[in-house]
Structure 1
Amino acid sequence: MNSIIVTERGSKSVLERPKVAVITPGSFIIPSGRSSSVERVIEKVVPLASDQLNIRIFGLSDRQLPNFGMVGRVPCFRLPGGNRYLQSILQHLRKWHPDTIDVHNRPRLAYQIKSKLPFTRVLLTLHSTTFISTTYSPLSETSRWLNRVDGIVVNSEYLRSELLLRFPGLQVPILVNPLGVSLEDFIPRWTPLGESLRQARLADFGWENRKVVLYVGRLLPAKGVHHILSAWPTIQKCVPDAMLVIVGSAFYGAERETAYVRRLKKLAEPYQDHIVFLPYIEYPRVADCYNLADVVVVPSGEEEAFGLVNVEAMAAAIPVIATNTGGIPEIVADGQSGYLLPPGSLQQGLAEYVSYLLNHEEVRRVMGCAGRELARSRFRWKHTADRWGQLMRGVE
C-alpha cells in the first residue's frame, strides 16, 4: 500500500514501512547509561533498523527526561511505570495500530498485551533465563504466557535450548539473534594509539608497569567474581606485578553493598595494593576500562545467556578467559580469542590461564587481534539490527 510520508527532503510517495512497537521492560528510562543491558540492546539495535521499519519505542518515564524524545531517529514515548505501565502502553497501541509488537524480557507483559490485542502479531524478545525461572513464576504459568505470543526471539542457541528443555510443550517458533558491539567505541589494545592511551591511563591511576586483569559487570554470586578472588593468591605468586580491577556494583547505577560484595572485599583485603574495586561506570565510558586490561575474566555461572562483556573485550582486542557454559561458547573461540574453562574447576583454571597469558605477551596480542576480527565479522550491532528487522517483518 502506498502512502505519502514527509521526510527531511520533502514529501514523496513511498511504500509504507511496517509498523513495529518496541516495548521495554519498564524498569529503566531509555536512553540511559545507567540502565540494564536490555535497554542498551534496544538503544543500539532499533535505530539501525529505522530505514526498514516505522518504529516507536515505549518505555518508562521519570523526572529526568521529557515524556517524548528520540532514540536516534526513532520516537520514544516514556510512560508511567508500575501498575499504570500496561494500560498506558495499550492506549498508545490502540491508536497507532502497529503490525508487530516486540516486548522485551517480560513474558507476562507480552501475554497481557497479546490478550488485549489478539489480532496483532506479538513477539517476546528474551534476554536471559531470569523471567522463565521458578523464582519468578511457576513453570505452568510461564508456559501459558509463552504459548500465547506469536514468536520468541533469543540471543543464543543456549537460551533457545533452555526454553525447549524447560517448556517441552512450547508451540511457538523460537528465533535466535545474537547480540553485538560498537567497534567504534573501543580502541584496539594492539595499535599505537591504543598503547599510548593505555600507558597514559595507567599513569593516571599510578599503575605503570602493571599487568591488569579486568572484571566488568554486576557483583552477584551468579557472575562468579569470588572465583577470580579465590585464584588470586596463586596468580600473585606467578605474576608479582599483576593487578585485578573489578568494575561494577551489585545494582545498576547504585553503590549499595550487599553481603556478597562485602565478602568479595574481605577476600581482597590481603592484596590492597593489587586489587581495586571501581564503582559502576556508565556506558559507553566503560569502554575506557577495557583499554587498561591485559586479560578480561568472565567467570559467570551456568545461566549466562550471552554476556556482552565477552564481545566488548574482543572489540578492544583483549583475550577473554570465561566459563565454558551458557551462551559464552557461542562467542569466545576457545584457544583463539581466549580460553573457556570448565565450571567445576574455575579457581584452578583461572589461576593457570590468567598467569599464563600475563606472562606471554605475544599470545595475548595474537588472541586479542583474533577476538577483534571475530567481533568485526560476526558480532556487530548492524548484524543484529539487520536480523531483527527481518524478524519484525516476518522473514525467518
Structure 2
Amino acid sequence: MIFGRRELKALNPHKVAVISPGSFVIPSGRSSSVERVIEKVVPLAAGNLDIRVYGRTGEDGPVKAMLGTVPCSRVPGGSAYLPSILRHLRAWRPDSVDVHNRPILASRLKQRMPQAKVYLSLHSTTFVQDKHFPRTWGGAALNQLDGIIVNSHFLQRELKNLFPGLTAKLEVNHLGVSLEDFVPRWTPVGEALRRARLQAYGWSSRKIILYIGRLIPEKGVHHLLQAIPKLRVHEPEVLLLIVGGAFYGSLRETAYVRDLKKMAGTYPGQVEFLPFTPYPQVADWYNLADVVAVPSGEEEAFGLVNVEAMAAGVPVVATRAGGIPEIVEDGLSGLLVNPDRLGDELPASLLKLLGSEHLRREMGLCGLDIVRSRFRWQHTAARWVRLMSPEYSEDRWEDRQVYL
C-alpha cells in the first residue's frame, strides 16, 4: 500500500531504526501490545522507509529474524542492552530512531547519537511515573528528544500534566486492528461459525459477556464479577468469559487472580476463566461474544481490545476513562459508564445490550464501520511514515493528530 507522496519512493529511502526493549522478541506469537504495534505497523511502512527493528533476545531462537521484509536483530537485555544497541546503530547509521516505551533509553541514545533524530513512542504512563522516571530531571530528558508519539489525546494530556515544562513536540497516532483477522458478527459466515462454536462448547443458550486482557486490578475485572448478582436476576443464562492472565503468555497466578477465582466460585456455571490466547487466534473468542466489557481504570491510554471488539462487530461496554472515549462512541459503537458509578452503571449497561439483539446488531455494525474508516493498522502506519519522513517538516509537529 502506498502511503505518502511519490518522493517517499526515493532510491535511498530514509533509514529508521525501531527499538523495542520490551519483554518479548520480535516477531513473536506471544507478546504484549507494544510488540504487536511494532509487528503490525513496520511491515506496512516498509515500502516507504528503510527499517530495521532491534529487540531483546529470548530464551531460545536466533539472534536474527525477519518481520516481513524487515530485518530484526535481537540483543541481550539488562545492562548489556544499551551498548549492544549503540554498536548496531553506529554501524548502520540510521536517520531516525523510534524507541518504544522507554524514555530513559531514548534520552541516552539521543545523547550518544546527536546527529540522528530520536523519537519516543509512548504506549502508557507506566514508564514516565516517578519510580521509573523522576520528574526532577524527566522533563529535561524528554525535551532532548526530537518528538514524542502517543496513542491517544488522553496520554498527550497526561504527559503535559506530569511535565508542565515539556517543550518536546507531541503527536497523537491512534492504534489499529487487522480487519482480516476477524470474522464479524451479523454476517452469514460469522453467525454460522458462532453457532457451531457455541454448540461445541455447550453454550448455545447462553448470553456471553467477554473480557480479554491482563488480570490486574487496574483492568477492573473484579467489577464484572461483582455485577453478576444483578445480571443473573434478568439474564439467568448469562456467562462471563475471562480470557487472559496476570502476565503475558504465562499461567502464573497472583493473589489478585486467586481472589477473582474465589469470587467466581460463588457463581457456579456463570464464569469461565480461559488462558492467554496468542494473537490472532484470540479473534475466535470475540466471535462468541454478545458484549465485550472493558472496565479499565483511569490510566488506560488506548486499549486495543476496544478496536478488536469493534472489528468483530461486537458492542463494547467500557469505562469513560483514559483514552477509551476516543475509540468507543457512547450510544453508537457501545456504552460508556462512569468509573465512580460502576456498581450501578456497569450491570445496567450490560443488561441493556443483553436484552436487545437489535441494539447489539446496530452498535456492532456501527463499530465495524468506525474501525474501517479510522482504526486500521494501515491508518497508523501511514501516519507513522509521515512522522518519520524527512519532508514532514518541523512546523507540522504541532500537538495535533496527522490525518490521512
Provide Cα deviations, 1:64-102, integer angstroms capped at 9, x if missing partner.
321111101111111111111111110010011100000
> Which residue number in structure 2 is paired with residue 44 of structure 1?
40
Contact between 1:322 and 1:341, CA under 8 Å: does it hold in 2? yes
When structure 1 is superposed on structure 2, of 62-71 and 235-244 the one drifting more is 62-71
* Partner Cα separation in structure 2 for residue 40 and residue 201 of structure 1: 27
Structure 1 residue 34: Cα displacement: 1.5
> Which residue number in structure 1 is paired with residue 261 of structure 2?
265
Structure 1 residue 14: Cα displacement: 5.2
When structure 1 is superposed on structure 2, of 141-150 and 328-337 the one drifting more is 141-150
Provide Cα deviations, 1:119-159, integer angstroms capped at 9, x if missing partner.
21100000001011123232223223211211100000110
User: Match of 2:265, SS?
Assistant: helix
Letter of the aligned partner of 1:284 in structure 2? P
CA spacing shift, 1:133–1:250, aligned 2, 3 Å: same
| Alignment pair present for 1:101 and 2:114 | no
| Alignment pair present for 1:18 and 2:18 | no
Q: 1:214 aligns with which of 191, 207, 210?
A: 210
| Alignment pair present for 1:304 and 2:295 | no
| Alignment pair present for 1:323 and 2:337 | no
Alignment of 1:103-182 (within 5 A): 103-182=99-178
Provide Cα deviations, 1:28-80, integer angstroms capped at 9, x if missing partner.
11111211100000000011001110000001112432111110111111111
Letter of the aligned partner of 1:273 in structure 2? G
* Partner Cα separation in structure 2 for residue 316 and residue 141 of structure 1: 44
* Partner Cα separation in structure 1 for residue 22 and residue 354 of structure 2: 42
Letter of the aligned partner of 2:61 in structure 1? L
Contact between 1:26 and 1:85, CA under 8 Å: does it hold in 2? no
Provide Cα deviations, 1:339-362, integer angstroms capped at 9, x if missing partner.
011110112111101111111000
* Partner Cα separation in structure 2 for residue 347 and residue 25 of structure 1: 39
Letter of the aligned partner of 1:204 in structure 2? A
> Which residue number in structure 1 is paired with residue 62 of structure 2?
66
Return structure 1 stretches of 4+ with deviation > 3 angstroms. Answer: none
> Which residue number in structure 2 is paired with residue 250 of structure 1?
246
Q: 1:32 aligns with which of 28, 31, 37?
A: 28
* Partner Cα separation in structure 2 for residue 340 and residue 14 of structure 1: 46
Q: 2:86 aligns with which of 86, 90, 95?
A: 90
Contact between 1:228 and 1:347, CA under 8 Å: does it hold in 2? no
Provide Cα deviations, 1:153-173, integer angstroms capped at 9, x if missing partner.
000011001111110101110
* Partner Cα separation in structure 2 for residue 288 and residue 140 of structure 1: 47
Unaligned runs of 5+ in 1: 1-12
Structure 1 residue 180: Cα displacement: 0.2
* Partner Cα separation in structure 1 for residue 211 and residue 58 of structure 2: 31
Letter of the aligned partner of 1:132 in structure 2? V
Structure 1 residue 178: Cα displacement: 0.3
> Which residue number in structure 2 is paired with residue 281 of structure 1?
277
User: Match of 2:141, SS?
Assistant: helix
Provide Cα deviations, 1:352-384, integer angstroms capped at 9, x if missing partner.
011111110000000000000000100000000
Letter of the aligned partner of 2:121 in structure 1? T
Structure 1 residue 26: Cα displacement: 3.7
Q: 1:55 aligns with which of 46, 51, 59?
A: 51
Letter of the aligned partner of 1:22 in structure 2? V
> Which residue number in structure 2 is paired with residue 10 of structure 1?
none
> Which residue number in structure 1 is paired with residue 5 of structure 2?
none
* Partner Cα separation in structure 1 for residue 99 and residue 138 of structure 2: 15
Contact between 2:243 and 2:273, CA under 8 Å: does it hold in 1? yes
> Which residue number in structure 1 is paired with residue 379 of structure 2?
383
* Partner Cα separation in structure 1 for residue 75 and residue 200 of structure 2: 42
| Alignment pair present for 1:230 and 2:259 | no
When structure 1 is superposed on structure 2, of 275-284 and 203-212 the one drifting more is 203-212
Q: What RMSD over aligned residues (CA atoms) do the two structures have, in Å?
A: 1.1
Structure 1 residue 206: Cα displacement: 1.3
> Which residue number in structure 1 is paired with residue 354 of structure 2?
358
Letter of the aligned partner of 2:224 in structure 1? I
Unaligned runs of 5+ in 2: 1-8, 397-404
Taking only the aligned residue pairs, the percentage that are identical comes to 58
Provide Cα deviations, 1:218-241, integer angstroms capped at 9, x if missing partner.
000000001111111100111011
